[in-house]
Amino acid sequence: MNIVFYATLEQADRNALQNASVVVIDVLRASSTIVAALESGAERIIPIADIETASRLVRPAERDKKLLAGERKGLPVPGFDLSNSPAEFTPARVRGRTIVLTTTNGTRAVTAASKAGRIVVCSLTNLHAAAAALRGEPEVVVLCCGAEGSMAAEDLFCGGLLLQSLGPAVAPESLSDAARIAGALAERFGGNAEAFLRSTDHGRRLVGLGFEADVAFCARVGVSACVPTVKEGVIVS
Amino acid sequence: MNIVFYATLEQADRNALQNASVVVIDVLRASSTIVAALESGAERIIPIADIETASRLVRPAERDKKLLAGERKGLPVPGFDLSNSPAEFTPARVRGRTIVLTTTNGTRAVTAASKAGRIVVCSLTNLHAAAAALRGEPEVVVLCCGAEGSMAAEDLFCGGLLLQSLGPAVAPESLSDAARIAGALAERFGGNAEAFLRSTDHGRRLVGLGFEADVAFCARVGVSACVPTVKEGVIVS
């Protein structure tokens, strides 16, 4: 298995994504939230880049079947049903419902990868399930979202753990600097994912905003067997 | 000392560079070549972005006092006196001479940082001298050049070793994800810089092009006391 590894969305070569198997990683928090929502029985998630379009997609009369969810700069959007805290996406709130989700990075990544042959959403929580779903693929593009053009350590860390989980199937000569740096982070900090997430720029910001529980939630490695994929622009399990 | 750390040239906020103390790192090979040239007694180095302008700056009659040096995609430029192999910059070739240098990344970095209050060129070879020259600065911008918008592991590695060398003067809360990733690389691979350089994308490419000796040359940590700085667009010791 050849690996093409991008440390930020901006570095991703759109042509390389075409027809490839793309893994989208935004640990804090879009990927983790998507996994949690589908794990809790949400029927589908429609990723939308902007708040206005998302709001138009959910008419007031539909609010029992469709929910508006998302964040901007880590904070809830006024008038939305749910934010981007994965723990909010309980079976009681989301089972059988459609979620229209708009997050700063996660939805942009899914949109960027819209021409991919296959898209898998990966977080720490579904790490091993995501790796299992990728076995046998000849080429995998790992797309770490990062934040505003800079790399996010938690996304690289998750990408590195994914490579570890893929194991000897990965062709080592295909690993670029970014992939090998991710591997070094996974090797060094893999023993305590929560402490690592708390030490990152984004983790510290979330703790400062009062989302400490979210950081702990997102740091639980391999607790979910759910593998979100994208079909015709909609995320399903 | 607060650290602002950029993993690539493209991520650097030009405003953050203004009036700051900027450390430019391009281990393979521009920084290492600049240190070697000044260590060997070159009088000054004029960094120029493009080959045509560089060529115009050196008239045939001046070829005994001025030398044309540089590379494109790692290879020598036809008609130039020197390439970008640091070992070529011996006292016999460069002592007392002006070098007009054009490299893919290094000169672009110095140009990008042209509004900085102070610029220091750092490679592994002058690591400790560069750190010593920065002591007492309230804020240091570490500018890892990277390659074509992607991070280069050897530049992050050198930046991480620089932070180590700066020691307790560094304010830990000022370290971003990129700085902490660089620190992790330095901690993990600092014991064998040459092996690490050979394992990187750029190191492997240079070995493939026959520049194995250059990689070894650039991996010698702290062998030079030379600290190149930039004065009015010219690099001097």
At residue B100, the pLDDT reads 95
Task: Answer for the pair A186, A163: CB distance below 8 angstroms, yes or no.
Answer: yes
At residue B114, the pLDDT reads 81
At residue B124, the pLDDT reads 98
B196 closest CA partner among B150, B163, B152: B152
Q: Which of A177, A184, A189 comes nearest B152 by C-beta?
A: A177
Chain A: closest CA distance from residue B110 (Å) = 21
Interface of A with B in 40-99 (CB under 8 A): none
Amino acid code (one letter) for B138: P
Contact A151 B151 (CB under 8 A): yes
How does pLDDT run along chain A (237 residues), one tens digit per residue? Answer: 999 999 998 888 888 888 899 999 999 999 999 999 999 999 999 999 889 999 999 988 888 899 999 988 878 899 999 999 999 999 999 999 999 999 877 777 887 788 888 999 999 999 999 999 999 999 999 999 998 888 999 999 999 999 999 999 999 999 999 999 999 999 999 999 999 999 999 999 999 999 999 999 999 999 999 999 999 889 999
Q: What is the pLDDT of residues A76-123, one digit of tens each?
A: 899 999 999 999 999 999 999 999 999 877 777 887 788 888 999 999
Question: B59: burial class by Cβ within 10 Å (0-12, 13-18, 19+)?
Answer: exposed
B30 closest CA partner among B145, B194, B191: B145
Q: What is the mean pLDDT of each run of 10 residues along chain B (237 residues)?
A: 94 84 95 97 93 90 92 88 95 96 82 86 98 96 91 97 96 95 96 97 95 97 97 91
Which of chain A's residues have a Cβ under 8 Å away from the Cβ of B149? 10-11
Q: Which of A7, A10, A184 comes nearest B184 by C-beta?
A: A184
Which of chain A's residues have a Cβ under 8 Å away from the Cβ of B189? 184
Interface test with A, best of B177, B202, B207 (most A CBs within 10 A): B177
Contact A151 B201 (CB under 8 A): no
Which of chain B's residues have a Cβ under 8 Å away from the Cβ of A189? 184
Place of tokens 């929910």: A67
Please tell me chain B's helix, strand, coil percentages from 3-state DSSP, rounded to the nearest 5. 45, 20, 35
Structure tokens at A122: 């990966």
Task: Answer for the pair A142, A162: CB distance below 8 angstroms, yes or no.
Answer: yes
Backbone φ and ψ of B72, nearest 5° = -135, 125
Integer Cα distance of A171 and A187 in angstroms: 18
Tell me which H or E stretch contains B216. Answer: helix B212-218
The answer, for A187 touching chain B at a CB cutoff of 8 Å, is yes
At residue A72, the pLDDT reads 86
Q: Please give the full DSSP string across B65-81, using - where no structure is assigned.
A: TEEEEEEETTEEPTT-S
Distances (CA, A) of A185 to A26, A178, B227: 16, 11, 31
Integer Cα distance of B120 and A104 in angstroms: 36
The answer, for B156 touching chain A at a CB cutoff of 8 Å, is yes
At residue A1, the pLDDT reads 96
Sign of CA dihedral B61, B70, B219, B141: positive
Chain B: closest CA distance from residue A201 (Å) = 6
- B/e letters for B113-135, b = 16+ CB within 10 Å, e = fewer, are bbebebbbbbbbbbbbbbbebbe
Sign of CA dihedral B30, B35, B37, B38: positive
The 10 Å Cβ neighbour count of residue B16 is 15
**CA B151 to chain centroid:** 14
The answer, for B11 touching chain A at a CB cutoff of 8 Å, is yes
ipTM of the complex: 0.88
Chain A: closest CA distance from residue B145 (Å) = 14
Four-point Cα dihedral A101, A102, A106, A107, nearest 10? 90
Structure tokens at B134: 């920065």
At residue B47, the pLDDT reads 92
Structure tokens at A47: 């990723």
Which of chain B's residues have a Cβ under 8 Å away from the Cβ of A152? 177
Contact B151 A149 (CB under 8 A): no
Contact A7 B201 (CB under 8 A): no
Contact A153 B181 (CB under 8 A): yes
The answer, for B148 touching chain A at a CB cutoff of 8 Å, is no
A237 closest CA partner among A96, A64, A73, A42: A42
Interface test with B, best of A3, A9, A155, A177 (most B CBs within 10 A): A177
At residue B10, the pLDDT reads 86
The answer, for A136 touching chain B at a CB cutoff of 8 Å, is no
At residue A213, the pLDDT reads 97
Task: Answer for the pair B91, B40: CB distance below 8 angstroms, yes or no.
Answer: yes
Total number of residues shown for chain B: 237
The answer, for A13 touching chain B at a CB cutoff of 8 Å, is no
The answer, for A176 touching chain B at a CB cutoff of 8 Å, is yes
Q: Which of A150, A153, A181 comes nearest B153 by C-beta?
A: A181
**Strands, E assignment, chain B:** 2-6, 21-25, 44-47, 66-72, 75-76, 98-102, 118-122, 139-144, 229-231, 234-236
Backbone φ and ψ of B39, nearest 5° = -60, -35
Distances (CA, A) of B208 to A36, A179, B70, B213, B221: 46, 20, 19, 12, 23
At residue B49, the pLDDT reads 84
Give the global pTM: 0.92
Q: Which of B149, B150, B177 comes nearest A152 by C-beta?
A: B177
At residue A84, the pLDDT reads 92
Contact B181 A149 (CB under 8 A): no
A159-162 long-range contacts, CB within 8 A, separation 24+: A159/A5, A159/A23, A159/A25, A160/A184, A160/A185, A160/A186, A160/A187, A160/A190, A161/A124, A161/A127, A161/A186, A161/A190, A161/A193, A161/A221, A162/A23, A162/A25, A162/A122, A162/A127, A162/A130, A162/A131
Integer Cα distance of A2 and A140 in angstroms: 6
Structure tokens at B80: 């130039």
B180 closest CA partner among A163, A184, A192, A122: A184
Which of chain A's residues have a Cβ under 8 Å away from the Cβ of B153? 177, 180-181
